Structure 1
């Protein structure tokens, strides 16, 4: 992304690196809030209402993160891309694969979704450690809340010994299958 100006104290080369990383977060957050709404609409079975209602505040939070990231991109002198095409172009992950299914199946799949988002956020945190502490601070705050929500998800998947029913799953469908079988 071309940056024609940036904030004081940040070179345009550094701003371009930060903007590129933030564009990936913007697309991931847009994808995540759509995925969460998909789960909200498609979760069924026992504990439906608890999970249905647990997800909406997270949708709102993640939509807010997308807005913050887009505004940071603009502050750094670039144009944020929030279109469906941008999500597809930036995507390094597969589309969410679970349709109408049980609470546990969706939560098992969501656990893996959160793994990917959080790991990518941590990469941006490392990149911005030397480039832009303001951006890093924003991503740190986002990651703390995302990790807390993942804990909410995992509490449904965890047994009394702390073992996740989805441990070792390497795809959303495998995690959904493992969670469904354990429930």
Structure 2
């Protein structure tokens, strides 16, 4: 049952809804992995990376809210449940226990590469189905690419 009438036709709504749901799951998982890393980070660059991970969490949570609200506004039920995230996220698994600062940086470089690739696919998918959603996904992708650059810069000289 849909309680919200979408301005999109069924085909465009399906494409757009899939893109929003996939983006939602990826950024929610990114926020969880970033908090896990934040709590278990060790090493000489602890403080700077610890604070950087907080920025990632803040960015991801804000993006998740925007994406979920866009989906709801179009009449698509956003699904941010833990089991949905676990089954469909593109974020690589993060190891348990204490993790060295260099390993955290490398993990996040890989995570950003995967998520950004998936986000860019969503940008392409929504070009015709819903340019408004496409703009939102482009915005989130831009923020993710900035964080990716910052983590890659951490590796210089490491």
> What is the TM-score of this pair, normalised by structure 1?
0.80
| Residue 144 of structure 2 is aligned to residue 146 of structure 1 | yes
Instruction: Return 85-94 or 138-147, whichever deviates more.
Output: 85-94
**Could you say which structure has the greater relative contact order, defined with CA pairs below 8 angstroms and 6 or more residues apart?**
2
After TM superposition, give the deviation of residue 85 of structure 1 in Å. Answer: 1.2
After TM superposition, give the deviation of residue 62 of structure 1 in Å. Answer: 0.6
Q: Which residue of 2 aligns with 1:178?
A: none
Q: Which residue of 1 aligns with 2:51?
A: 53
| Contiguous gaps of at least 5 residues in structure 1 | 160-182
User: Conserved in 2, the CA contact under 8 Å of 1:19 and 1:73?
Assistant: yes
Alpha-carbon distance in 2 for matches of 1:89, 1:4: 27
Listed one character per residue, the Cα deviations across residues 82-110 of structure 1 (whole Å, up to 9, x for unaligned) are: 11011123235542236412111110111
> What is the TM-score of this pair, normalised by structure 2?
0.92
Other structure's SS at 1:80 match: coil
Q: Which residue of 1 aligns with 2:33?
A: 35
| Contiguous gaps of at least 5 residues in structure 2 | none
Task: Please report the RMSD computed on the Cα atoms of aligned residues, expressed in angstroms.
Answer: 1.8
| Residue 32 of structure 2 is aligned to residue 7 of structure 1 | no
Alpha-carbon distance in 2 for matches of 1:40, 1:81: 25
Q: Which residue of 2 aligns with 1:80?
A: 78
Alpha-carbon distance in 2 for matches of 1:112, 1:88: 18
Q: How many residue pairs end up in the alignment?
A: 158
Q: Which residue of 1 aligns with 2:62?
A: 64
Which protein is bigger by CA-based radius of gyration? 1
